[in-house]
Homo-oligomer: A and B are copies of this chain.
Amino acid sequence: MDIETLAEGIIAGERRALARAITLVESGRADHRAAAAELLAKLPTDRQALRIGLSGTPGVGKSTFIESFGMMLTGQGERVAVLAVDPSSARSGGSILGDKTRMDRLSRDPNAFIRPSPSQTHLGGVARRSREAVRLCEAAGFDVVLIETVGVGQSETVVAEMSDVFVLLLAPAGGDELQGVKRGIMEIADLIVINKADGDLKSTAARTRADYAGALRLLRKRPQDPEGFPRATAVSALEENGLEETWAALQELTDWRREHGFWDRTRAAQARYWFEQDVKQRLLAQLETPQAKDDLTRLSDAVADGARDPAEAAAEFVRRLRAD
């Protein structure tokens, strides 16, 4: 593969080149990693997309929302990329967004690019690959990058740390209980979108939106937010209602953050975060070699039997690791 040609194709906004480049950054092979690093070094860093993190559990209508929201954006002339971050796909064998037919219209739109989640081994790897895929999309001139996750375990935090804004998609909930929200998610959401505000669920969706709006007002105001944020909106992805208001809210928020320096500050802090995470992950990757795994198992067994002390066995293991 000619890296120079690939870089030119990406910069020209060619979707095929972009798809090939993402395949390259997703590969774990050493030569592919080296080629990916070379490629990334050749790409411009001055193109910035609006990175929108999007989380929602299965059943909230995430695919329908992404399709409707994406189509509205391309209709306004925006180029839209959709990436999935799914740490669970290694276990389940499948991947979210794997079935592009669920987003039939958007996937055929020339101004859209949809990329399913690769099969993964661990969240650290997912994070690096996804960040690099986001960078590739930005270099390819996309205006909006939607990074979606199903919200398993820590995946929302991972996505939030690579997004400019974070959207939580929820279904209408009966009663006045705020349901389905994992602890900590309310604190990272910039916008809560209640989907399915249509048909029988329309009034429930309105009430759910009001409930969340009330709950959000109880949270302490964050420095990176103007008045009125985080906000809750209600949409019908199916009937394509409320999408413009949601987009307007996102633009109001990001315009304010750009003006007040929070956009750049957040991206700088995220870069530091990923640097530190990468360093730690590279150090811990030493535990993943077959030799290291054998040693770990043997010593762990001895420790469990009481034959060895945990700290002393750990010291021996690390000594051997460095001697290699």
A: residues with CB less than 8 A from B are 37, 40-41, 45, 128, 131-132, 183, 268-269, 271-272, 274-276, 278-284, 286-287, 296, 299-300, 303-306, 309-315, 317-318, 321
Is B132 touching A303 in the complex (CB atoms < 8 A)?
Answer: no
Output the residue of A40, A183, A306, A321 with the most chain B CB within 10 A.
A306
> Looking across the interface, which residue of chain B has its beta carbon closest to that of A129?
B311
Is A310 touching B275 in the complex (CB atoms < 8 A)?
Answer: yes
A314–B272 Cα gap in the complex (Å)? 10
Q: A103 → chain B, closest Cβ, in Å?
A: 29
List the B side residues contacting A275 at CB < 8 Å: 299-300, 303, 310, 313-314
A24–B45 Cα gap in the complex (Å)? 53
List the B side residues contacting A283 at CB < 8 Å: 283-284, 286-287, 318, 321
Interface residue SS majority, chain A: helix
List the B side residues contacting A300 at CB < 8 Å: 272, 275-276
Given A279-B317, A282-B315, A314-B278, are A304 and B269 also a contact pair (CB < 8 Å)? yes
Q: Of the candidates B40, B45, B269, which one forms a contact with A312 in the assembled complex, judged by CB atoms under 8 Å apart?
A: B40
Is B272 touching A311 in the complex (CB atoms < 8 A)?
Answer: no
List the 6 shortest-distance A-B pairs measured between CB atoms, nearest first.
Answer: A278-B314, A268-B304, A274-B310, A275-B310, A282-B318, A275-B303
Other CB < 8 Å A-B pairs besides A40-B312, A279-B296, A279-B317, 20 of them? A45-B306, A131-B311, A132-B311, A268-B304, A268-B306, A269-B304, A271-B306, A272-B310, A274-B303, A274-B310, A275-B299, A275-B300, A275-B303, A275-B310, A275-B314, A278-B314, A279-B287, A282-B318, A283-B283, A283-B318
Q: A98 → chain B, closest Cβ, in Å?
A: 26
List the B side residues contacting A317 at CB < 8 Å: 279
Output the residue of A271, A274, A321 with the most chain B CB within 10 A.
A271
A272–B296 Cα gap in the complex (Å)? 10
Q: 10 A-B contacts, Cβ less than 8 Å apart? A: A271-B303, A271-B304, A271-B306, A272-B300, A275-B299, A276-B296, A278-B310, A279-B296, A279-B318, A281-B314
Output the residue of A132, A280, A311, A313 with the most chain B CB within 10 A.
A311
A143–B122 Cα gap in the complex (Å)? 43
Is A40 touching B309 in the complex (CB atoms < 8 A)?
Answer: yes
A52–B137 Cα gap in the complex (Å)? 54
Is A268 touching B311 in the complex (CB atoms < 8 A)?
Answer: no
